[in-house]
Amino acid sequence: MRSSLRAAALSCLLSLILFAAAQPAHALDAISVRSDAPAIDLTGVLEFQRSDTDRIQVSTAPGTDGIVRRIEVRAREGGQNWIVFALTNNTDDQLDRLIVVPHYRIVSSGLL
């Protein structure tokens, strides 16, 4: 009886540790990309997040079907600092955009 109680307590403790260590998914508001806009300043909408691992989970903006999906992104190199943003295309046309980041503002981000 005592060993089963100890095993149950250990199981609960391990469950709490795993639950506390899990990274939550973060929902973002998507920024609409217009076809006539030559550039979009994302400075005010960037979310700075930290992760204890080389991965981060993000909830996507709802799709046309209303479903919010969850994606996990893995870093090429180990790191704890992340910058997250979401873009949406509300047209039926494909839009191609470049993401440009001044390297002196986001040191060691890997973005150029």
- Average pLDDT taken over every residue of the chain: 71
The pLDDT of residue 12:
39
The pLDDT of residue 18:
37
Average pLDDT estimate for 36-44? 83
82 pLDDT above the threshold of 60: yes
Mean pLDDT check: name the lowest of 3-7, 61-65, 69-73, 101-105: 3-7
Cα separation, 23 vs 36, whole angstroms? 38
Bridging pattern class, strands 81-84 and 26-27: unpaired
Q: Are 52 and 110 in contact (CB under 8 A)?
A: no
Tokens coding 48: 């700075």
74 pLDDT above the threshold of 80: yes
